[in-house]
Chains A and B, each alone.
Chain A
Amino acid sequence: MRVTNRMSFDQAQGQMMAARDRALQAQQQVTSGKRVDHPGDDPAAAGVMVSQGIAIQRLDTIDKTISSAQGEVQTADGAVQSVSTLLARAQQLAVQLGSDTYSAAERSAGAQEINSISSQIVQLMNTQVAGRYIFGGTKDSAPPFDASGNYQGDGNVRQIEIAPGLLQASSIRADVAMKGAGGGIDVFGALSAVSSALANNDGAGVRGAIAGLDKSTDQISAALTSTGGILSAFESAQQVGSVAKESAQKVLSAQSEADVFEATSNLTMAQQSLQAALAVTAQSFSVTLLNYLK
């Protein structure tokens, strides 16, 4: 082939530019750690980065949401457990004072303790987390129980998303647990039956009211089971979520992050080829017949 001056200049220029371009790209990958900047760099990876990025953000938020709901449910669980302890004390009192060996005065003191248990339970049921009443269903802005144990809340259960598209109850129904809505027993009623029998010094009445306390205890145990169920659902959802997040993160890194070793060796290679291109170009420019014609 006949080689002309423009050819060799153009070619040298083109090769130097290409080598510089490769070196710059390799340098960008090494310094940013990313192999995809513009969607055109790798269209499929760019798309995956978008959807995985959103998915990770969603899983992240779901995890945080579960954590704050968890705080509420744990508090609820503790409150219900205290109720259960108080009921056990009431039961103990009723069994003890139901025996005919006790005097009216002793039974009256027992009645007062039962009343105090009842109002403690009201207080427990009006527990707030960050200013929010947790036993009122979706009515969380006002105390769900008044002083005499009447329910002011609603019959709804609050729900949150614990996995994309999956809803889980994050509250228990206090009207069911405490007031026996749907065929259960009114715990406050059972307590006041014991308390009034004690106040009336009615031993047989006290013994008769123990059955109500037994039912109440069962009802509270059921409530504890459901708070426990919610907490374990939260826990497993968080575990599943963190596995999902981890795998999404892996996919994201695999698509978006540059392999450091590969990027570095690419950079070295690109720099060497740039150096070679520069050296060869400079050399070829210096060889001309003009140097020999005198």
Chain B
Amino acid sequence: MAADLFSLLVQSGNSLGAHSAAMSVAGNNVANANTPGYARQIANFAANPGVSSLGAGSVGTGVSLVNITQARDQFVERQMPNALAAQSRSQTESDALSALTALNPDLEGGLPNAMGVFYSSLQTWSQNPGDPALRQNVMGSTQALVTSFNQTGSAIASARTGLDASITGKINEINAAAKSLADINRQIEIAKSAGGQPNDLLDQRQTAIDTLATLTGATPYTDAGGDVSMALPGGTALVVNGNAGTFSAVPDPSNSGLLKLQLNRADGSPPTDWDGTTLGGTMGGLFAARDGALKTAADSVDALAFNMATALNTIQQNGYDVNSAPGVALFTLPATAVGAASQIRVNPALNPLELAAAGTAPAATGDNTNVLAMIGTQSAPLLSGANPAATMQTIVTAFGTSASQADALAAHDAAMATNLQNLRDATSGVSIDEEMVNLTKAQRAYEAVAKVISTANQMLDTLMSIAG
């Protein structure tokens, strides 16, 4: 077939289409410069095969748009979910721990402060045990100590229940993200069977994978059919092809009634209890904070309240009050240390005259031997093995260590994730400058092809006028 003017017109028309498609791609890239998960698209052209012309070789027949692909770096994308999960887990834990101020060492009315004031009042009282004003002062500081235990206990407890509220919210997000990943898997299957690469669905899938990894620490794996499923840390599948598992939460009586997770698996098997601390991501961070450092702090403050109060009760009960009657308990406590910090109270039956200063009966007004024994509890080891001040020091240091570790880890993980994000953006991100160049390039090509058409047109005109 000869290279004639008519076919030049036709092929130029096709080329115009290819170049305007390239402009659309550049325009779409610019429009999605800030869309999360969007991978820059590239219009791929190929020269049309030539036809042999007049026996002198082949003449090309223009350009056509082969396909529109995405710029993706599989190597980096593989690492993203883990990095996001780690960042989210440590950041969540760090945020949760740094939000608790009840153990701040300088807190006015905090536990260390109240303990110091309580023992000071005993010390002052010991010098003149018959003085009613000093007895009243001891009652006041005992109440302050109890209040401080109550406040510290309930601050830690409400930090933990507050995390439960986040857990409930995150469960919904996880279930939604898992379902959306399963749905996208199905849509991609349908789109692929219809032919072509569903770029936007692939972007959405990547976003769903990132979201799910951020929330749970799940890792993606691709099967032979191209479906991306996700497995929780430990290997149990959360999303399998087009099916998604769901999480739910029920109160756990063995953990102060706080929520525990249950997993309804993707294969539809009956729900099983799921240890939240094994998860990564936000959910893992919430559980790590709730059942890690915060639980340790709650338990050790409970133990301190229980042991200290028990030791003081025993001494008070071994002594004698102003009427030479054996002392009644200073504090009322629960039967075990569980919840002691929140439940400890000053014995409501106790009045200042019943504070047992005397070590022997009949009680002499100046007998302070029992007060000295009470003062002695601040130097004597409690059941936990250390004296009250040292125990308090250990509690604060242990909690601080967890908080600062989580904080350091959060900074480290954030740097890692940012670095990967940058690497991903370097490949997949949109550069406005670059797209402007692409746009201009397409525009110029379009203009040039249009010029070819108008030239061919003029040539045809010339030809027609000869024929006319």
The chain A residues found within 8 Å of chain B, CB to CB, are 1-7, 10-11, 14, 34, 36-44, 46-51, 53-55, 57-58, 60-62, 64-65, 68-69, 130, 132, 136-141, 154, 156, 158-161, 164-165, 167, 170, 256, 288-290, 293
Query: Once bound together, how far apart are the Cα atoms of A166 and B136, in whole Å?
Result: 26
Are A141 and B379 in contact, CB atoms less than 8 angstroms apart? no
A-B contacts besides A53-B116, A57-B117, 19 pairs, CB < 8 Å: A2-B426, A4-B430, A5-B34, A7-B426, A37-B104, A39-B105, A39-B403, A40-B400, A42-B400, A47-B393, A50-B392, A50-B393, A54-B378, A58-B116, A58-B123, A140-B366, A141-B365, A154-B364, A288-B432
- Given A158-B368, A165-B376, is A1 in contact with B105 using a C-beta cutoff of 8 Å? no
Instruction: State which residues 277-321 of B face A: CB under 8 Å.
Output: none
- Given A65-B126, A159-B372, A288-B432, is A136 in contact with B115 using a C-beta cutoff of 8 Å? no
- Given A140-B366, A289-B436, is A43 in contact with B397 using a C-beta cutoff of 8 Å? yes
Are B400 and A60 in contact, CB atoms less than 8 angstroms apart? no
6 pairs of residues in contact across A and B, judged by CB atoms under 8 Å:
A3-B426, A36-B105, A40-B406, A41-B404, A58-B119, A61-B123
Please list the 5 inter-chain residue pairs (A to B) with the smallest Cβ-Cβ separation, ordered nearest first. Answer: A40-B403, A39-B400, A43-B400, A4-B429, A47-B397
Are A61 and B124 in contact, CB atoms less than 8 angstroms apart? yes
Question: B95-103, B173-181, B213-221, B338-346: which one contacts chain A?
Answer: B95-103
Are A64 and B432 in contact, CB atoms less than 8 angstroms apart? no
CB proximity of B336 to chain A, nearest CB, Å: 26
Query: Once bound together, how far apart are the Cα atoms of A49 and B104, in whole Å?
Result: 10
Select from chain B the residue with minimum beta-carbon distance to A69: B127
- Given A6-B34, A7-B426, is A38 in contact with B372 using a C-beta cutoff of 8 Å? no
- Given A161-B375, A170-B127, is A61 in contact with B119 using a C-beta cutoff of 8 Å? yes
- Given A2-B427, A49-B106, A50-B393, is A38 in contact with B400 using a C-beta cutoff of 8 Å? yes
Are B105 and A256 in contact, CB atoms less than 8 angstroms apart? yes
Q: What residues of chain A lie closer than 8 Å to B422, measured between beta carbons?
A: 7, 10-11
- Say yes or no for B421: interface residue by CB 8 A criterion: yes
Q: Which of A3, A14, A41, A256 contacts B431 (CB under 8 A)? A: A3
Q: What residues of chain B lie closer than 8 Å to A65, measured between beta carbons?
A: 123-124, 126-127
- Say yes or no for B456: interface residue by CB 8 A criterion: no
Q: What residues of chain A lie closer than 8 Å to B4, measured between beta carbons?
A: none
- Say yes or no for B383: interface residue by CB 8 A criterion: no
Select from chain B the residue with minimum beta-carbon distance to A53: B112
CB proximity of B405 to chain A, nearest CB, Å: 9
Are A139 and B379 in contact, CB atoms less than 8 angstroms apart? no
CB proximity of A110 to chain B, nearest CB, Å: 38
Are A6 and B425 in contact, CB atoms less than 8 angstroms apart? yes
Select from chain A the residue with minimum beta-carbon distance to B120: A61
Are A5 and B124 in contact, CB atoms less than 8 angstroms apart? no
Select from chain B the residue with minimum beta-carbon distance to A71: B127
Are B372 and A14 in contact, CB atoms less than 8 angstroms apart? no
- Given A58-B116, A164-B379, is A139 in contact with B123 using a C-beta cutoff of 8 Å? no
Select from chain B the residue with minimum beta-carbon distance to A67: B127
Are A4 and B127 in contact, CB atoms less than 8 angstroms apart? no
Select from chain A the residue with minimum beta-carbon distance to B394: A47
Q: What residues of chain A lie closer than 8 Å to B112, measured between beta carbons?
A: 50, 53-54
Query: Once bound together, how far apart are the Cα atoms of A62 and B421, in whole Å?
Result: 61
CB proximity of A75 to chain B, nearest CB, Å: 14
Q: What residues of chain B lie closer than 8 Å to A14, measured between beta carbons?
A: 418
- Given A39-B403, A65-B126, A154-B364, is A289 in contact with B433 using a C-beta cutoff of 8 Å? yes
Select from chain A the residue with minimum beta-carbon distance to B363: A138
Determine chain B's interface SS by DSSP, over half rule. Answer: helix
0/1 string, B82-111, CB within 8 A of A gives 1: 000000000000000110010111100000
Are B431 and A10 in contact, CB atoms less than 8 angstroms apart? no
Are A47 and B400 in contact, CB atoms less than 8 angstroms apart? yes
0/1 string, B389-414, CB within 8 A of A gives 1: 11011101111111110110000000
Q: Number of B interface residues, CB 8 Å? A: 66
- Given A43-B401, A256-B106, is A156 in contact with B367 using a C-beta cutoff of 8 Å? yes
Q: What residues of chain B lie closer than 8 Å to A130, measured between beta carbons?
A: 128
Are B390 and A51 in contact, CB atoms less than 8 angstroms apart? yes
CB proximity of A134 to chain B, nearest CB, Å: 9
Are A39 and B397 in contact, CB atoms less than 8 angstroms apart? yes
Are A39 and B396 in contact, CB atoms less than 8 angstroms apart? yes
Q: What residues of chain B lie closer than 8 Å to A7, measured between beta carbons?
A: 422, 425-426, 429
Query: Once bound together, how far apart are the Cα atoms of A130 and B430, in whole Å?
Result: 86
- Say yes or no for B43: interface residue by CB 8 A criterion: no
Query: Once bound together, how far apart are the Cα atoms of A53 and B130, in whole Å?
Result: 29
Q: What residues of chain B lie closer than 8 Å to A40, measured between beta carbons?
A: 97-98, 399-400, 402-404, 406-407
- Say yes or no for B113: interface residue by CB 8 A criterion: yes
Q: What residues of chain A lie closer than 8 Å to B369, measured between beta carbons?
A: 159
Query: Once bound together, how far apart are the Cα atoms of A60 and B120, in whole Å?
Result: 8
Are A290 and B429 in contact, CB atoms less than 8 angstroms apart? no
- Given A39-B103, A51-B390, A65-B124, is A6 in contact with B33 using a C-beta cutoff of 8 Å? yes
Instruction: State which residues 258-277 of B face A: CB under 8 Å.
Output: none
- Say yes or no for B440: interface residue by CB 8 A criterion: yes
Query: Once bound together, how far apart are the Cα atoms of A10 and B437, in whole Å?
Result: 23
Most chain B CB within 10 A, of A36, A39, A44, A61, is at: A39
Query: Once bound together, how far apart are the Cα atoms of A136 and B402, in whole Å?
Result: 56
Q: What residues of chain A lie closer than 8 Å to B404, measured between beta carbons?
A: 40-43
Are A140 and B365 in contact, CB atoms less than 8 angstroms apart? yes
CB proximity of B320 to chain A, nearest CB, Å: 12
Are A293 and B440 in contact, CB atoms less than 8 angstroms apart? yes
CB proximity of A191 to chain B, nearest CB, Å: 27
CB proximity of B144 to chain A, nearest CB, Å: 13
Q: What residues of chain B lie closer than 8 Å to A3, measured between beta carbons?
A: 426, 431
Q: Which of B34, B392, B402 contacts A54 (CB under 8 A)? A: B392
Are B101 and A57 in contact, CB atoms less than 8 angstroms apart? no
Query: Once bound together, how far apart are the Cα atoms of A132 and B33, in whole Å?
Result: 86
Q: What residues of chain A lie closer than 8 Å to B365, measured between beta carbons?
A: 138-141
Are B128 and A68 in contact, CB atoms less than 8 angstroms apart? yes
CB proximity of B285 to chain A, nearest CB, Å: 15
Select from chain A the residue with minimum beta-carbon distance to B403: A40
Instruction: State which residues 124-155 of B face A: CB under 8 Å.
Output: 124, 126-128, 130-131
Are A6 and B430 in contact, CB atoms less than 8 angstroms apart? yes
Q: What residues of chain A lie closer than 8 Å to B407, measured between beta carbons?
A: 40
Query: Once bound together, how far apart are the Cα atoms of A34 and B403, in whole Å?
Result: 18
Are A51 and B393 in contact, CB atoms less than 8 angstroms apart? yes
CB proximity of A136 to chain B, nearest CB, Å: 7
Query: Once bound together, how far apart are the Cα atoms of A164 and B378, in whole Å?
Result: 9
Query: Once bound together, how far apart are the Cα atoms of A14 and B418, in whole Å?
Result: 9
